[in-house]
Structure 1
Amino acid sequence: MSDSGGARSAVLSYYLFRVTDSVGFIWPVFTLFLLWNDLTFTQIGTLSAISAVLVVVFEVPTGYLADRIGHRNTLAIGMGATATSIAGFVAASTFRQFVALYVIWALANALRHGAADAWLYEMLRERLDSDAFTRVRGRGGAVYQVVTAVTMIVGGLLYAVHPTYPFAASAVLSGLGVGAILLMPQTDADADQPGVTDALTTLREQFTRPSLRAFVPFIALFFAMVTTADTYIQPITVDVIERLSAALAPVAEDAVGRDGSSLSVPGEATLGFVYAGFALAGGIASYNAERIRGWLGLRRALLAVPLVTAAALVFPLAVPLLAVPAFFLMRAATDLSKPLVNQYLNDRAGSASRATVLSAAQMSYAVVRAPLKPLVGVIADATSPFGAIAALGGGFLIVGLSIVVVAQSVIADGPAVESTGVEESAG
């Protein structure tokens, strides 16, 4: 069914939601903020592990909830919970308080994970064409990243004034997101109400099929790797900036005199500009996801991108200055992968339980991430953040390549399912 006028309006409302979905104000300073509150890397890793475990607990129930009360309504509830959690960081100061906020954060993420992509896929299927998902999702990701780039710069400057200011700004933006979501139209699938037994049966059938059996663990490991590596971007980037500043100090003194230090930019503000660059790189990659899919093919892209990213994370251990280029590659690879992965999963999910299936995939990512973050935190405390990301990259190359070799066909070629069923195509 094609409704180009209605589809255009719905797509524009989706892009508006993506504007408010950004957490750019806090992203470049989040780890620094936790360190400012006297948390250790091990405690930070533990917080992330707690969140990941709770996501495992929440994902399927919230995906089922989305299929029951509607993807849009669930998304609005999740955005409200996000605003509440972020606002809480303004007042929190102890580890226990941060644990409580991470519980709310995990619930918010679980509510939003399956709902947004399920809503978009169903809306396009009803009003335009589900094959447009990669293009619209990719461009939505580009909108998100452009907004994120701007808010990251502002967030870094706000952090330099006071560490809590970026969180106040981000809470306001997330609050506005609730209104943006309510502008999005309902979809016919929002009226579908699969039973609990049906939902569990769907999950068992979907995740034991050849097209997903090896794919989900492989992608779960990739997303766990990049999410864990994100924790160390801030301290590593600050370290690289300090190394460059020390190396260039004599040149700067010769150029502007001994008082040239007055021209220096606060470290947190510099970090905001670096993160803005990460966001723009991710936005460009996301915007071109459909083009890259056509160039490489979905299967090759989803195999090559994780492996190349993992290899890039190993090199900074020997050459620290390669860390920032590696992070640029990692951010671009992550944002490129998301629309491709979700296209692959959506094509293999039936309409009635689409959000449940997508949430179950997110749950699998959290299952891998939960033990990985505290483990890598221990490695970082024992060695250095550089050692931590090298361990992540090397570990993925070993395990990921093993999955590829053993499974032989990690990613299936060809079409997947009919839009209302779960039968796999033989193609």
Structure 2
Amino acid sequence: MVSLVRRYYFYRASLSSGFYIPVSVIYMESRGLGLPEIGLVQGTFLFSMVVWELPTGYLGDRLGRRAALALGSAVTVAVMAGFALAESTLGFATVYGLWAVAWTFKTGAADAWLYELLATRGEEEEFSRISGRADSVLRLLSGGAALSVGLLYTVDSSLPFLANAALAGIGLPVLFTLPRTNGAGSGDDAAVKDAAVEDAAVDDADPSPIGVREVARVLRRELSRPSIRWVVAYAALFNLAFSVTRVFEQPAMRSVGVPVAGLGLLYAGFKLVSAIVSSLTGAVHDRLGTRGVLFLLVPAVGVAYGAFAVVPALLVPALFLRRGLQRITRPVRTEYVNDRVEDVGRATVLSGVSMALTLASGTANVLGGRVAEAVGPLRFLSATGVAVSLAAGILWIAVRPVRSAAGDPAPS
């Protein structure tokens, strides 16, 4: 089992995007794309994720976890090689569309495979420990990769993408040393017991499958609740701000004098801060409560984004803060929604919320690129953050988006 877990860690490490993320946007700029085109291709990625989420999930169930992961890694290799070859808006949009396919194939499948394997051995209680360590390995490798990006990009701007392609490719043979689990389509495997799927599904899926009409009915019913509808609207505002920040932060950092080598160092720092803040989420939630944590977004984003409009160098601390806020608020928001929906339809509602936030982010990226080009990325990000904070503050006062479950019964 020890050897198997180490191979799983190694495979999870191969999923890192640490080589390409720190230079992905400035690389597209070097290929002649302006900020409107960059916003368009980034929006293409998010819209494609929404389109492919269900089809790839279905194929993953039919083919089995390991086959789905293999497809995701194979497409990732092709995508990273495609980055090195793309030279037009259409080329990058195509690459990002394929990247969304790879992403959705891998989303959740690695954790599902691990849980199912542990369930066959009666070791489900080990899931959190092993998964957490795997995530730490992934973050450490991503941070190390980010440190090397400046050198690689200086030698040849396509090298970070080729390095990421090689990393994803290394993960493929490791993946096939891992045993199959007994998800649909996984075939006969002597080490797997029939009861494992039921056990594995408890935390990640609805108790019973539902059809398309039932999905629509569940979403309509649950999203009509004020405590869910308004918290989704509140979260969508900040998701919009955080998404355009992620897309246009590299040009903004370059505009305040951060060199390419510095981008790699900063992204390594981002990974470190995210890991530290993630470990503190529970303590912050216990201290401030759900209302306190989610309301924290209003003053924190407003002040941080407004500050770098006055002092441009404060952009960098704001980017660290942005990552910390996301790490803390996302699980708190998810828990809040979980507490207010019924067991039947829970996964459906969570997927619906995720898709709504993704669509909002994609739309903001597409529309924001032209504005960022006109006023500059730094002013655009600052104005967006301040505007979002003001709108969210008004929403908080007007409709009380965070409510107690007892005060918001499900509609009949």
Task: Work out whether 1:291 is the aligned partner of 2:307.
Answer: no
Match of 1:150 among 125, 144, 147: 144
Q: Give the equivalent residue in structure 2 for 1:95.
A: 89
- The amino acid of 1:90's aligned partner reads A
- Alpha-carbon contact 2:298-2:393 (below 8 Å) kept: no
Equivalent position to 2:402, from 411, 414, 419: 411
- Supply the distance in 2 between the matched residues of 1:347 and 1:16 (Cα, whole angstroms): 35
Structure-1 separation of matches of 2:145 and 2:10: 15
For residues 36-55 of structure 1, the C-alpha deviation after alignment (integer angstroms, 9 at most, x for no partner) is 11111111011122223333
Distance 1:140 1:357, change over 3 A: farther
Question: Which residue of 17, 26, 30 corresponds with 2:24?
Answer: 30
RMSD: 3.9
Cα distance in 2 between the residues matched to 1:184 and 1:13: 14
**What displacement does 1:343 show?**
3.9
Contact 1:67–1:193, Cα closer than 8 Å, also in 2: no
The alpha-carbon distance between structure 1 residues 16 and 382, as it changes in their structure 2 partners (threshold 3 A), is same
Q: Is the 8 A contact 2:43 2:365 kept in 1?
A: yes
Deviations 1:388-416 (A, max 9, x none): 111220221122223322321x234469x
- CA distance in structure 1 between the aligned counterparts of 2:94 and 2:344, rounded to whole angstroms: 33
Q: Which amino acid aligns with 1:405?
A: I
How far residue 123 of structure 1 moved from its aligned partner, in angstroms, is 9.3
The 1:121–1:393 alpha-carbon spacing in structure 2 relative to 1, beyond 3 Å, is: farther
Give the TM-score normalised by the residue count of structure 2: 0.78
Quote the residue 2:166 is aligned against: 172
Q: Per-residue deviation at 1:20?
A: 3.0
Counterpart of 2:355 in structure 1 is 363
Matches of 1:348 and 1:63, distance apart in 2: 25
Cα distance in 1 for residues equivalent to 2:314 and 2:337: 34
- From 314, 317, 320, give the equivalent of 1:322: 314
Matches within 5 A, 1:247-326: 267-305=259-297, 307-326=299-318
8 Å contact from structure 1 (residues 379, 387) kept in 2: no
The answer to whether 1:202 aligns with 2:218 is yes
Q: Do the aligned partners of residues 23 and 286 (structure 1) sit closer, same or farther apart at CA in structure 2, a change above 3 Å counting?
A: same
Give the conservation status (yes or no) of the 8 Å contact 1:75–1:112. Answer: yes
CA 1:374–1:348 in structure 2 vs 1: closer, same or farther (change >3 Å)? same
Q: 1:348 to 1:58 in 2, by over 3 A?
A: farther
Residues 25 and 156, structure 1, Cα contact 8 Å, conserved in 2: no
**1:336-392 CA deviation, whole Å, 9 max, x = no partner?**
334334444555667776654443222111221222113322222111111111122
Q: How does 1:25-424 map to 2 (within 5 A)?
A: 25-62=19-56, 74=68, 76-113=70-107, 142-177=136-171, 179-180=174-175, 187-188=197-198, 189=201, 193-241=209-257, 267-305=259-297, 307-346=299-338, 356-408=348-400, 410-413=401-404
CA distance, structure 1, for counterparts of residue 180 and residue 338 of structure 2: 20
Provide closer, same or farther for how the CA distance between residues 270 and 338 of structure 1 changes in structure 2, counting only shifts above 3 A. Answer: same
Shift of residue 158, structure 1, vs aligned partner: 1.1
Distance 1:290-1:137 versus aligned 2 partners, 3 A rule: farther
In structure 1, distance between residues paired with 2:301 and 2:3: 36
The structural deviation recorded for 1:320 is 0.4
Question: What are the ranges of 5 or more consecutive residues in structure 2 without an aligned counterpart?
Answer: 184-196
2:194 is aligned to none
Q: 1:24 to 1:318 in 2, by over 3 A?
A: same
Counterpart-to-counterpart distance in 2, 1:287 and 1:336: 9
Overall identity of the aligned pairs, in %: 32
CA contact 2:65–2:180 (8 Å) conserved in 1:
no
What is the distance in 1 between the residues matched to 2:10 and 2:81?
A: 22
Q: Relative to structure 1, is the Cα distance of residues 206 and 63 closer, same or farther in structure 2, using a 3 angstrom cutoff?
A: farther
Q: Is the 8 A contact 1:142 1:287 kept in 2?
A: no
Q: How many residues align?
A: 385
Asked whether the equivalents of residues 305 and 382 of structure 2 are also in contact (C-alpha less than 8 Å), the reply is: yes
Of 85-94 and 358-367, more deviation after overlay is shown by 358-367
Shift of 1:159: 1.0
Return 351-360 or 312-321, whichever deviates more: 351-360
1:80 and 1:379 map into 2 onto residues whose CA distance is 36
How big is the shift at 1:287? 2.3
Q: Deviations over 1:264-295 (max 9, x none)?
A: xxx32222112111111111111222222223
1:10 and 1:184 in contact (8 A); partners too: no
CA distance in 1 between counterparts of 2:227 and 2:62 reads 27
Would the alpha carbon gap of residues 15 and 206 (structure 1) be closer, same or farther in structure 2, given more than 3 Å must change?
Answer: farther
- CA deviation map 1:48-104 (0-9, x unaligned): 222233333333454566677667765554444333322211221222211211111
Distance 2:226 2:4 in 1: 34
5+ residue gaps in structure 1?
1-5, 243-266, 416-422
Residue 42 of structure 1 contacts residue 374 of structure 1 at CA under 8 Å; is this kept in 2? yes
2:301–2:386 Cα contact (<8 Å) kept: no
Alignment TM-score, normalising by the size of structure 1: 0.75
User: Residues of 2 paired with 1:339 and 1:70: CA distance?
Assistant: 28
How far apart, CA to CA, are the structure 2 residues paired with 1:137 and 1:206?
Answer: 31
Distance in 2 (CA, whole Å) between partners of 1:320 and 1:274 is: 16
Contact 2:231 2:402 in 1 (8 A): yes
The whole-number CA distance in structure 1 between the counterparts of 2:125 and 2:216 is 28
